[in-house]
Amino acid sequence: MINRVLMRMRVLQIFFAYGIRDDGNVKGAEKELLSSLGKTYDLYLFLLLLIVALSDEARILSGRREGVTVGGKLIDLSRMLSNRFAGQLKVNVQLADFARAHGDFWLTEHRMFVRDILKKILGSELYDAYVTSEDGYGADRNFWYKALKRIIIEDADFVDLAERGSIYWSDAVDLAAGYAFGTIKRFKPESDGGHTLCPMFSQDDGSIFATTLLRHSILGMEDHRERITGTLKNWDIGRLSRIDLNILQVALAELLYFPTIPIAVTMSEYIDLARYFGAPKSPGFINGTLDAMVRELQSEGKLRKP
């Protein structure tokens, strides 16, 4: 699930924090990096657990003698309570293990949010259409796909919760939601409790790419700054923004120590990071500086890859 695009972003964030601390604790920086990646994966699982929590809350509300009303309208909860897909998530072994390890995150820590978002779902045109649709597994699964996509992750309270939940959640909602959508689509009527969810890492090298990139960025910091200074020539490196300098250092580490990653891929990724983290002129500056460093390294015979 966690791809190299996000890994580069997290490496840059941890490298930035390490540079501020400058405490020499490379192992600590690597541990923090892995923790940040783990928190992003947690968000994906919490999104799936939210479907279970909403279903459980609906079941609790169904026990009310006076029934459930939203906006003065009495709500039929029968389809929500019999939803087959939510039932599959509830008995999923991997999700249940995660829930036990993290406590009752939704129905204890964020009970009011669950109640509020449930009411928004029940009062929506989406739920009205679901209740009147033909009963079937496809309708059950598609309902939660659409509820997650159109209501939950677009809700201002959810956005606020993500921002407060972890510094590594606010910029990962789209990624985590995307994999939640993919997970929902892969479930079948016959899927049982052993159905496999998305793995934490989408590539065979797992976290090795991220930790190796961070380590080379930190250990080569002085050499990389010297290279950048030489490339800029008459430009005082002290005038660079810390963000631009960090992007160049991490990009240089990737260029030098990952021979199988094409130069064009590295340049494109760090120009994108400059757009995300930097100032308006950062992408052009990063592009020009990286291009100059690549030509220098190639002329010195230190960069031999496409």
Tens-digit pLDDT profile for residues 8-18: 999 999 999 88
Residue 233 confidence (pLDDT) above 90: no
What number of CA atoms fall less than 13 Å from residue 259's CA on the CB side?
A: 3
Residue 203 confidence (pLDDT) above 70: no
* Residue scoring higher pLDDT (235 or 156): 156
172/265 same-domain check = no
Q: How many domains does the chain have?
A: 2
Type and span of the H or E element at 69: strand 69-70
Please give the average per-residue pLDDT across 86-90, as a whole number: 98
pLDDT for residue 22: 64
| Residue-level length of the chain | 306
Residue 300 confidence (pLDDT) above 70: yes
35/169 same-domain check = yes
For residue 108, how many other CB atoms are within 10 A of its CB?
A: 10
What is the domain extent for residue 159? 4-186
pLDDT for residue 20: 63
pLDDT for residue 204: 63
CA distance 117 to 139: 20
232/146 same-domain check = no
Residue 198 lies in a domain: no
Residue 103: pLDDT band (50, 70, 90) is confident
Residue 154 confidence (pLDDT) above 90: yes
pLDDT for residue 68: 86
CA distance 68 to 294: 65
The alpha carbon of residue 193 and the mean position of all alpha carbons in its chain are separated, in whole angstroms, by: 25
Residue 209 lies in a domain: no
63/145 same-domain check = yes
